[in-house]
Chain A
């Protein structure tokens, strides 16, 4: 079982980002996803710099995948996707059909990211024809749905592409044209001052009785809970999961990587570090305690 570093969902200063990936080069992760998936205004690293970083990490022995935006509105954003797809040296993580089309037209292999809305074996078969080589199920797809999809896909004679599941991190739940960080700070989106940079793990949102609930991350909304599928490792192995995705966070990811690296070497479940992912069990994603 391989470990991947999912794309950085947050907006960090340039030096912090570069230092994070310099460290990551020495961690026991096999795959690193690089690039901006949330907001095209985040340009501490420009596209050329993400690509340069990709080349460095590849030289350090990592498999690198270039990730792309989940919501694409502007022509300039399409231009970035074209550049990533045209590079040729790396796979692309497609989080929107725009990126699928770019890969399909160029013959670039792609990873279907979690916002692509791939829910059944027929959709998977069509995307495989388009160049899909790896699938990251969407956040609401748990063990049963993934197993049923796999069985139906194989019953139709398909060879399952690589399967990567989100094993660690806050779940990306929603995207909007509106920037919720700008709204919370009472500034216009067009004059946002790039304030996401002040919230390295996004901006906490709580209910009116103080219960931590969501995180506001620019145009994206994340769940508050840092989900952890470590305890499900035996079930993940039985399901044929190839890759465990760990999402970057501001502090302590090196320990999380070590924890999963240690666990994947054995047969047992990992102890629980984060929170239970309800989706994986066919339940609401968050822990819904009564009363």
Chain B
């Protein structure tokens, strides 16, 4: 079972590899990947150095090319596929059909993983991507319960990777237009959700704060209240005269307690979310998961969820809260 960790930049890549990641995933510094944030991602030289570093320590580098190019821009994504191959990446992670098809035809030896942004939640959808583009792995959207993941592992034509830890997208990845409805900038087309340039914080005389996304009020906070980043899905709104987190609270996914079952189900890889996070996060979260996985591999029968692992992971969670999210039926 592989541990796949986020690398938003070269120091994070090195930290992940040093902390025991089997693979890291990274993106180019443009809109070809779903974390197209300012100051993040890799130049060609940085990626070359990252690949060298990872390979020297036996880790793999996956290149995320997981946004949806429109017709006018599709050649830029093809060029990015060519670059990923030329720089020695071990696989690309892609969602869009033209990108996957181009990669399959032009670089058949470069493995193709279906991105979480590809929204494949069923065996027929995975079969489509397998037959059409020869994918060798798929990352599942964060919508399935543990039982559904187990069944899909039995029926999928390719090994599956699931999200293990990190910020929780509560919508089907690849099928959320909340950011674009408000700002015009979308995860699918632009690789961003709620971009910072549309965010405005206002501090009021009583010490309370409000936060807007392109003028739309996402939330208000009392003077001492912790305030999270304003994505639409984690704001507070009024429904039927009540104000609450109508879609989701600011919380992170943490599946550590499910580790033995995920392993038993045959999950091929566990993904840690967070290319936008720093070295401290990547290092600590990777190290914690590495320990838990190693202990499971060493002695399955005696594996126990350690409180210190959970405490360490909670430190890095959004709002210091974690959830089993969709894996647990009650979340739905």
Contacts and interface: CB of A to CB of B under 8 A. Distances in A.
Interface stretch (B54-62, B79-87, B232-240): B232-240
Contacts of A291: 215
Contact of B188 (A72, A100, A117): A117
Instruction: Kindly name the residue among A72, A123, A149, A152 whose own CB sees the greatest number of chain B CB atoms within 10 A.
Output: A123
B70 A145 contact: yes
Interface stretch (B16-24, B41-49, B127-135, B258-266): B127-135
Contacts of B144: 73, 177
B172 interface: yes
Interface stretch (A42-50, A201-209, A237-245): A201-209
B98 A122 contact: yes
Interface residues of A, number: 74
Interface in B216-251: 216-220, 233, 236-240, 242-243, 246-248
A31 interface: no
B167 interface: no
Contact of B215 (A78, A214, A290): A290
B71 A140 contact: no
Contact of A72 (B121, B170, B180): B121
Given A178-B170, A205-B239, A211-B217, A120 B74 contact: yes
Given A71-B121, A205-B237, A288-B182, A174 B70 contact: no
B269 to A, nearest CB: 21
B332 A203 contact: no
A123 B96 contact: yes
Contacts of B156: none
Contacts of B214: 284, 288
A71 to B, nearest CB: 6
Contacts of A255: none
A173 interface: yes
Interface in B127-147: 127-129, 132, 142-145
B186 interface: yes
A139 B175 CA distance: 10
Given A119-B70, A120-B70, A288-B216, A174 B332 contact: no
A122 B101 contact: yes
A185 B147 CA distance: 26
Interface residues of B, number: 69
A221 B243 CA distance: 17
Contacts of B215: 288-291
B183 to A, nearest CB: 6
B124 A184 contact: no
Contacts of B217: 207-209, 211
B239 A216 contact: yes
Given A101-B124, A208-B220, A173 B172 contact: no
A152 B71 contact: yes
A70 interface: yes
A63 interface: no
Contacts of A276: none
SS of A interface (majority): mixed
Contacts of A286: 181-182, 216
A213 B246 CA distance: 12
B182 to A, nearest CB: 6
A173 B71 CA distance: 22
Contacts of B174: 117
B97 interface: yes
Contacts of A149: 70-71
Interface stretch (B5-13, B281-289, B309-317, B323-331): B323-331
25 contacts: A70-B172, A74-B148, A78-B122, A98-B124, A98-B125, A101-B127, A101-B128, A117-B96, A117-B175, A119-B188, A119-B189, A121-B74, A127-B97, A174-B172, A176-B172, A176-B247, A177-B142, A178-B248, A189-B332, A203-B240, A205-B237, A205-B246, A206-B238, A284-B182, A286-B181
Interface of B: 68-72, 74, 95-98, 101-102, 118-125, 127-129, 132, 142-145, 148, 151, 170-172, 174-178, 180-184, 186, 188-189, 214-220, 233, 236-240, 242-243, 246-248, 326, 329-332
Given A100-B128, A117-B175, 7 more contacts: A78-B122, A119-B188, A121-B71, A173-B178, A188-B332, A207-B218, A284-B182
Interface of A: 70-75, 78, 81, 96-98, 100-102, 104, 115, 117-123, 126-127, 138-141, 145, 148-149, 151-153, 171, 173-180, 183-184, 188-190, 203-211, 213-214, 216, 221, 223, 278-279, 282-286, 288-291
